[in-house]
Amino acid sequence: MVYVDTSVLVALYTHEAKSSDVSRWYAACADELVSAAWCVSEFASALAIKQRTGQIAEADAQTAWRQFERMCAGDLDLLPVEPATFHRAAILSLDVASGLRAGDALHLAAALEAKARVVATLDEVMAKNAKRLRLKLAAI
């Protein structure tokens, strides 16, 4: 099972520096893919930010959203986020040395709760913390 961070999902469906690498990884991946249901809100927010900052047009955002929804309906299992997961994320965030923001801490807490062994992320701080928590990183 691979826990997928929103950074990977955004790169998969919009044009970013790592989009080609993510597309190749996704096409070759045979593992079960999971993410916290929170990624839906985070993905929508990323699309809106990209539109507001002129990185993508509205039509491109709508296309990315439809592709993301299809992935959620077929290839990506969305996990509920329980109160205990939020608490675990809070504890991770309290560690100042981790550099974690709330959203990334929530992803890591959800990955731990799901007993995922591998995390797919493009975020360097999240990757560093995933390793610290003894999670392997997907080779993207």
**Per-residue model confidence (pLDDT) at position 76:** 96
Nearest partner of 18 among 33, 8, 4, 31, judged by Cα: 8
**Per-residue model confidence (pLDDT) at position 26:** 96
What's the predicted TM-score (pTM) here?
A: 0.93
Tell me the pLDDT tens digit for each residue of 1-35. 999 999 999 999 999 999 999 999 999 999 999 99
DSSP conformational letter for 110: H
**Per-residue model confidence (pLDDT) at position 72:** 95
Domains of the chain: 2-137 (3.40.50.1010)
Instruction: Please state the φ and ψ torsions of residue 136, each to the nearest 5 degrees.
Output: -80, 155
For the chain, the straight-line distance linking the first and the last C-alpha, in angstroms and rounded, comes to 15
Average pLDDT (104-128) is 96
Tell me the pLDDT tens digit for each residue of 27-66. 999 999 999 999 999 999 999 999 999 999 999 999 999 9
Tell me the pLDDT tens digit for each residue of 124-137. 999 999 999 999 99
Q: Exposure pattern of 47-79 as b/e (b: 16+ CB <10 Å)?
A: beebeeeeebeeebbeebeeebeebbeeebeeb
